[in-house]
A and B are shown apart, each in its own frame.
Chain A
């Protein structure tokens, strides 16, 4: 059997433990799918695979137990899936054109969840359309509120959807439901001063809990949507760590543009002697300011947007010695 491993991997088929068998990775940007597509996934698993489907951590499907020879046939079959996820501009029959940039995952968002500040699937699909297909290894996820159910803090780019609470004093009954929920569940950004709610903008994380708790809609959502980007979180064998805040109170266009710009940054600084390099390690090497300045090029940030001046990531190194050479 002669297979070009690189071509196969790029085509979203992977090398598996069983010689001669591959597994197909199905992308589901935003983690939300029309149920009809499950029939297609089911049929492929039954006909070509071993009858099982794995639900991946990135919200895709992996269909194992497929013969390498069947790849071409399967690629034709999955055309509707590619079209639905808008993964490829021209509706090709050649299957997935890249696998480096991973499926953009998202929490269920405001299509269902009351806490969500935005349609996370729609944003995930928009980002997918902007960045995919691409070979660079990027992990991106969108979460509807700072509860961060999708674990945006474990991604290269975690996007957290926000609202900026607005206050109409004439509708306030001083029940302090907003103050109490913020104090108990969030950061204590609200205070009742003389029967008037005062919001400390430095403490407010834009979760919208106060809006949800207000019985008179005295607290309400800002007309504009805002986004926080946390960056360079990762798992891995070297230095697992949580993402840190890079940009706060940004608009959607800026977020998308920044991610787009990061591909240019990676292209410039990636270590091409390695088979692949995760972006977090590139930022570790160039330093945060180089990354920041390059990805913000041409981005018009809004008046409320804040950018981190310095970032020192937490996390730990598995072995201190591996850092020494």
Chain B
């Protein structure tokens, strides 16, 4: 069903909805940027249309609502153990198609990767519904179309935020009564972005000697450039690596907890092993690992690329390393390899 809402009625709807859902969306945290006198665009709880920041892309993705940065898995008290509860109230995430597709990639990692579903991910994931933000232009660094992540059907409600009014398509019956109450019935189907601002050409790895790609001097450039700050990993909607922490609260170590925290292939220590061995000391090797994982390895296992082309890694890199430029360089190299 399609509906039209004024901004005021949207606010009322949001308020009514908040009784059952926690609405979260991209918002502008004033003066919260890492640089002084800069804002931070991030996902947070929204209470009105005015809270939504739609003109700028968020620095972080909304993945932390399903995969928290730091999550306690269980606590020990002597021989007793408990798994912490999570909030019962489901979350309605206002997200663009690329990010919704990002969750779809996370689903593969946590739910479809081996015989066991990830308990912690699954219990949060079932509590998430998407309110898709129609995105027709994207931003400078976006390449979701190339990554086939510009479209999605996985949403309860799709929204077009116009100048004066908001159009909505409601697919999830649960929300129909709300929109009936606050909106006016019209015809609306969301549209999707059809061309990218960042022109990216994906490499065709078919018949390519991957060992040669592995050893290509291209990666050395990134050893020179990348500073291993980890922002590309933490801002990425599909980066799903984590590390474990076991910690005790008391000297006797009877009170303790195990948690998992985000980790990232660019961050120092990611490949550290017992005995001090580390696989990818050079940052160029890390760039290679990430690139191949995002546009080759994952697809080999799950049938679609991991990267959704949101372009956040480009936006946040302090060294101006562009992931899409790296993909294009790789494409050129592979073309050359095939011509030889």
Contact = CB atoms under 8 A, between A and B. Distances in A.
Interface in A115-142: 116-119
A116 to B, nearest CB: 6
Nearest to A196: B247
| Binding site secondary structure of chain A | loop
B245 A215 contact: no
B37 A110 contact: yes
Given A110-B37, A194-B247, A195-B245, A171 B69 contact: yes
Given A170-B70, A215-B230, A221 B31 contact: yes
B234 interface: yes
B233 interface: yes
Contact of A173 (B36, B229, B261): B261
A215 B269 CA distance: 15
A119 B35 contact: no
Interface in B53-104: 59-60, 68-70
A216 B245 CA distance: 18
Interface string A94-126: 000000000000000010001011110000000
A213 B267 CA distance: 12
A171 B247 contact: no
A208 B36 contact: yes
A221 B229 CA distance: 19
Interface string B213-251: 000000000000000011101100000000101011000
Contacts of B36: 110, 116-118, 163, 208, 221
Contacts of B263: 173
A133 B267 CA distance: 54
Nearest to A172: B70
A169 B247 CA distance: 14
Interface in B264-304: 264, 267-269
A172 B37 contact: no
Interface in A215-238: 215-218, 220-221, 223
Given A213-B229, A216-B234, A169 B35 contact: no
Contacts of A172: 69-70, 261
Contacts of A212: 34-35
Contacts of B259: 195
A83 B272 CA distance: 61
Contacts of B60: 216-217
| Binding site secondary structure of chain B | loop
B47 to A, nearest CB: 20
B152 interface: no
Given A177-B230, A215-B230, A216-B234, A170 B69 contact: yes
Contacts of B37: 110, 118-119
A268 B207 CA distance: 87
Given A110-B37, A215-B230, A215-B231, A170 B68 contact: yes
B325 interface: no
Interface residues of B, number: 30
Nearest to B70: A170
A217 B261 contact: no
A116 B38 CA distance: 12
Given A217-B34, A221-B36, A223-B31, A174 B234 contact: no
B49 to A, nearest CB: 25
Nearest to A195: B245
Contacts of B264: 173, 215
B35 A174 contact: no
A212 to B, nearest CB: 6
A184 B69 CA distance: 26
Contact of B70 (A173, A215, A221): A173
B122 interface: no
A290 interface: no
Interface string B7-32: 00000000000000000000000011
Interface string B105-147: 0000000000000000000000000000000000000000000
B13 to A, nearest CB: 30
Contacts of A223: 31
Contacts of A114: 35
A175 interface: yes
B14 to A, nearest CB: 25
B262 interface: yes
A175 B31 contact: no
A211 interface: yes
Given A170-B69, A173-B70, A211-B34, A195 B247 contact: yes
B247 A177 contact: no
Of B32, B69, B263, chain A has the most CB atoms within 10 Å of the CB of B69
Contact of B35 (A110, A171, A213, A216): A110
A223 B262 CA distance: 27
A245 interface: no
B40 interface: yes
A171 B70 contact: yes
Contact of B40 (A110, A118, A170, A217): A217
Nearest to B40: A217
A31 to B, nearest CB: 18
Contacts of B59: 217
Of B35, B42, B68, chain A has the most CB atoms within 10 Å of the CB of B35
A215 B261 contact: no
A214 interface: yes
A216 B34 contact: no
Contact of A215 (B40, B229, B243, B248): B229
Contacts of B40: 217
A217 B58 CA distance: 13
A116 B35 CA distance: 8
A121 to B, nearest CB: 12
Interface of B: 31-32, 34-37, 40, 42, 59-60, 68-70, 229-231, 233-234, 243, 245, 247-248, 259, 261-264, 267-269
Given A117-B36, A216-B69, 12 more contacts: A118-B36, A171-B69, A173-B243, A174-B245, A195-B247, A208-B36, A212-B35, A217-B32, A217-B42, A218-B69, A220-B34, A221-B31
- Nearest 4 CB-CB pairings of A with B: A215-B230, A215-B234, A110-B36, A173-B262
